[in-house]
Amino acid sequence: MEPPAGNGASLFKVALTAGAGATIEWYDFFVYGTAAALVFPKIFFAADLPPLVAQLAAFSTFAVGFVARPFGGVVFGHFGDLFGRKRALLVALLSMGLATTAIGFLPTYQDAGFVSPLLLLALRFIQGIAVGGQWGGAALMAIESAPQGRSGYYGSFVQIGVPLGVVLSNMVFFLMVTAFPRDTFDAWGWRVPFILSIALVFVGIYIQTRLEESVEFEKATRSQASAPEGRRKSPVLQVLIHHPRKIVLAGGAFIASNTCFYAAITYAVSYGDTVLHLSRGALLACVVAASVVMVPGLLFFGALSDRWGRSTLFMAGAALTGLWSFAFFPLLETLSYPAVLAALTVELVCLSVMYGPQAALFAELFPVEVRYSGASLGYQLGAVIGGGCAPIVATALFAKYASTLPISVFLFGVCFISLTCTYFLTRAVKPSSTSLGS
């Protein structure tokens, strides 16, 4: 395959702008998670519900976004493979921004009764569909324009959208929590981070309209111009028919990264706030600081995977994360903020060993004609099984056993599943098919 056109500066611009778009998208998605941990149990559900039931209900609406993500992968993957990564990515970004802004204007349960949580569920579902389509488009825009042997590095620029989205969302919440008394924050201060998303919609439009279509997709489109009937076949059906094992194993490989990540940034905040009675502001500051450290970690391990191989690093990350799960909660329970910061930082660095190379790993599994669909389905399958359930399972385990040890065992188990799936996934890929970007 010919090397991608363009110079290093233009390729770097593609990676940066794709990563910026991903940051905006993830900001919107994570704002919901923080609010679900801190305020949604009180304002979107009946006041006479027991606190545990209300918290589980709030986390259940959080999980709806993950249930919707595979639908987003199907819809946006189909159109992204047929009509281009850029168009699908822009629509996903706009859908997310508008849905997030609308949440900031929702009536509370006291004002609208059961209609309030129903509207919340509907908008969360739209968020899930949007983010389900965003990742594949952003990742492929960067990877399919990358020079030979640099797919891991350029793909990691999209991956840093996750910690930067966490930083941005938590910084806004941190400002709200520290600027207003708790009653004021619970009354209306929580709405500000959601309403601010309308500004990010316009920033996203500016960024995404300046991205060029991926080099590899355009080349594939030109090569098939003489056989347009082939382009009209459903990419989703094609990838499900010809690559089902890869999709399932990719989903299994992603379970650990997603489960442990949301256990750290969502459940740990709720646990620290409601059980350990740590300062909300300090907890959010620790999450922000750990996420900042994660950014260079993702870039480093993405680049390292170009030399050492994706699967080697991915399995090492799963093993390290599983072992750290047994130290994570004991450090939180010391009630020492340096220990809390250490717990979160090491956790996110361990996750970076997996998440940094992941975009390139998943992209290399599928041919360009069905790559958006295949990579998105694998990613979102792992997301719905892992991340959406993590806060609910952790909350239920602690409620039953009054201990965080069962939660650590649960996290270790999902890491073992991911390590095993990655091992078999590498054997499902032919060596000749792993030269994406070459």
Identify the DSSP state of 370: G
Q: What is the pLDDT of residue 323?
A: 97
The total of other beta-carbon atoms located within 10 Å of residue 401's CB is 11
Arithmetic mean of pLDDT, 342-361: 96
Taking residues 195-199, report their average pLDDT: 85
The predicted pLDDT at position 431 comes to: 42
Residue partners of 429: CB distance under 8 A and separation at least 6 = 246, 364, 365
The pLDDT value recorded for residue 8 is: 56
Predicted confidence (pLDDT) at residue 235 exceeds the cutoff of 90? no
**Greater confidence, 415 or 85?**
415
The pair of structure tokens assigned to 276 is 């350990």
Q: Which tens digits make up the pLDDT trace of 273-312?
A: 889 999 888 888 899 899 999 999 999 999 999 999 999 9
Boundaries of every domain in the chain: 8-433
Q: What is the pLDDT of residues 11-34, one digit of tens each?
A: 777 777 778 878 887 888 788 888
8 A C-beta contact, residue 324 and residue 267: no
**Residue for token digits 């089902």?**
244
Q: ∠183-186-189 over CA atoms, to 5°?
A: 105
Report pTM.
Answer: 0.84
What architecture is the 8-433 domain classified under in CATH?
A: Up-down Bundle (1.20)
For the chain, how big is the Rg over CA atoms in Å?
A: 21
Identify the pLDDT of residue 229. 54
Tokens describing residue 31:
């704002």
The answer to whether the beta carbons of residues 171 and 187 sit under 8 Å apart is no
